[in-house]
Amino acid sequence: MDTLAENTYRLLLTNNDLDIEGIARELAVSPDEIRLALDRLAELALLRPSWESPGTLRPVQPDVGLQLLLERQQAELLRQQHQLAESRTAISQLVSEYSGPGMSGPSCEPLRGMDAIQARIEQLASRATAEVATFMPGGPQDAELIKAAMLIDQQVLERGVAIRTIALDSAHRHPGTLAYLRWLTEAGAQVRTAPALPLRMLIYDRRVALLPIDPQHSAAGAVQVTDRGTLTAVLALFEQFWASAAPLDAEPAGPAGDDPGLSRQERELLRLLMAGLTDEGAGRQLGLSPRTIRRMMADIMKRLDARSRFEAGARAAERKWI
């Protein structure tokens, strides 16, 4: 709701006898602007036809109208979450297709070995002119890889090229990784974190992407793709994760009241386990060890007074934590 629509709604709640011209005088705007504001309020279902004065509108009380708005927002958020899940599936399928034998050509070039991958990263970074966007999954990042990345990142940023990086929430548990991400932020990059990431990837100027041949083992090799179809899917996946990711040092928000709810990381853990992943598989997605995963699940089960993981999932759903 924009400011004029909000002010119009507030005014009608206290004085519903005003016509369009009267509202315009009260708010010191033109009648045409008020007509647009009334249309907006009607779209939001905050104005409804009056029973007593046919042809006119009455304001819906806030405890009813605003609750309906919240429910609509929740439905939209659920729709976006389903879209995100579908995108994850789509990108995994694309990666699988490109990792098959014989997949090479002008729009798809396989790279084998860390030396070849690192050389291509250096080459693409030196040619970037607008933006480098990356997913950084996994647990603690190797110190030598961080050192090499800092050198490339500094050169990219000094040329005025933007960097957007999404790391895992678990990076806060790893001092070396966290120090690198904070250095990146201070150097001018934008860094956010997400509870889980599907794979490692780098996107240069929205025209070239590097994806792992095996998402579970990035060192096994990579594939460079430039075809529009794959890039469209990869970019959509990145933007969806970016929109829901949190700033690096943001305090995790939880439900209000005495119920502590779940952290983003715990919520994602339950989602992964309910999707059928093992502790090891969920740990790879979250950047955590299987031992940490088991400890987190034990804590969740204790808070839910659940005797099994299945029961914990059911009770978390009952409380609308997931």
How many domains are contained in the chain?
3
Distance CA 81, CA 4 (A): 31
pTM: 0.55
For residue 88, what are the contacts with CB-CB under 8 A and spacing of at least 6?
Answer: 198, 237
195 and 285 Cβ atoms separated by less than 8 Å: no
Q: What is the pLDDT of residue 104?
A: 45
182 residue type, one letter: R
Query: How many angstroms separate the CA atoms of 18 and 25, rounded?
Result: 10
CA dist 5 to 24, 94, 296, Å? 12, 45, 46
- pLDDT at site 101: 45
Residues 286 and 212 in one domain: no
In a domain, 123, yes or no: yes
Q: What is the pLDDT of residue 96?
A: 60
Expressed as residue numbers, the domain containing 290 is 264-318
Q: What is the pLDDT of residue 252?
A: 47
Distance, in Å, from the CA atom of 110 to the CA atom of 117, rounded to the nearest integer, reads 9
Residues 282, 186, single domain; the answer is no
pLDDT in tens, the chain (322 residues): 789 999 998 998 888 778 889 899 999 999 999 989 888 888 888 888 777 666 677 888 888 777 777 887 787 777 777 777 777 777 666 666 655 444 444 578 888 888 888 889 999 999 999 999 999 887 777 788 888 889 999 999 999 999 999 998 888 888 888 899 999 999 999 999 988 888 889 999 999 999 988 776 766 788 999 988 888 889 988 998 898 888 887 654 444 334 556 777 888 888 778 777 788 888 877 878 888 888 888 888 888 888 887 778 778 877 777 7
Same domain flag for 46 and 173: no
Give domain status of residue 50, yes or no: yes
What DSSP line would sit under 174-235, residue for residue? -HHHHHHHHHHHHTT-EEEEES--S--EEEETTTEEEEESSTT-GGG-EEEE--HHHHHHHH
Structure tokens given for 307:
């005797």
Whether residue 274 sits in one domain with residue 158: no
- Within a domain: 219: yes
The DSSP line for 42-86 is HHTT-EEE-SSSTT-EEEPPHHHHHHHHHHHHHHHHHHHHHHHHH
Residue 69 lies in a domain: no
Domain assignment of residue 257, yes or no: no
